[in-house]
Amino acid sequence: MKFFIDTASLDEIRAANELGVLDGVTTNPSLIAKIVEDPDNFTYADFKAHIAKICEIVDGPVSAEVTTLKAEEMIAQGEELAAIHENVVIKCPLTVEGLKAIKHFSSNGIKTNATLVFSPTQALLAAKAGANFVSPFIGRLDDISTNGMELVRQIVTIYDNYGYLTEVLVASIRHPLHVVEAAMMGADVATIPYAVISKLANHPLTDQGLEKFMEDAGVIKP
């Protein structure tokens, strides 16, 4: 299973990368907005420069999202973003227009991540259009009393049925149990916020056991 970090923060990306288990990065316009200090003077060139910095830190796919609703404009933006670095993956919303852009990119060797996916039919379309990744937003489904993990199960089954190569990238992860469930279902990737990544290694019995071992080894006083 691949672990991506879901953030645009360079500090968080560096910290997660130092753990040695990071395979890629996903960003979106909301995550980018969080790292912008002066929104009035943040240009598209600044956005591209930020994506380039992320690519320098992590040797793996880096999703950069288009910020327009029309396929033609998504294609123009996506081609510009793809030129930043070979690891850039163009994140397109799974709308009718987004689907056209995904098809264009997949036919022209540009990698894509179909985002804002909330149904199995959207995921099926993403695979048929040749998306490299599909991003079901499970936390946002849970937020409206709909089982987000059930969508992951459906997508994994559908893709297995037909041998689609599109990787299931579980997004909108809110807690470690989401990561466990995604792994149990055979999802290819989990994109995880830093706060959740930092919880994955924690266990109170590990802390308790370690304290006792350190005491018995004379490293710390009881």
Question: What is the amino acid identity at position 216?
Answer: D
Residues that bind ligand G3P (CB under 6 A): 6, 26, 28, 137, 139-140, 171-172, 191
Phi and psi based region of residue 162 (left: phi greater than 0; alpha: psi -120 to 50; beta: remaining): alpha
Catalytic one of 91, 103, 128, 199: 91
Distance of alpha carbon 211 from alpha carbon 53, whole angstroms: 40
| 91 classed as catalytic | yes
Question: What is the amino acid identity at position 221?
Answer: K
Measured from the CB of residue 47, what is the shortest distance to ligand G3P in angstroms? 16
Of the two residues 26 and 132, which places its CB atom closer to ligand G3P in the complex?
26
Measured from the CB of residue 206, what is the shortest distance to ligand G3P in angstroms? 28
Q: How many contiguous H segments (helices) and E segments (strands) does the chain have?
A: 11, 8
Measured from the CB of residue 113, what is the shortest distance to ligand G3P in angstroms? 9
Of the two residues 75 and 171, which places its CB atom closer to ligand G3P in the complex?
171
Measured from the CB of residue 114, what is the shortest distance to ligand G3P in angstroms? 12
> Is-contact 72 40, C-beta < 8 A?
no
Contacts of 97 (CB under 8 A, 6+ apart): 69, 70, 71, 74
Of the two residues 107 and 171, which places its CB atom closer to ligand G3P in the complex?
171
Of the two residues 91 and 104, which places its CB atom closer to ligand G3P in the complex?
91
Residues labelled as active-site residues: 91
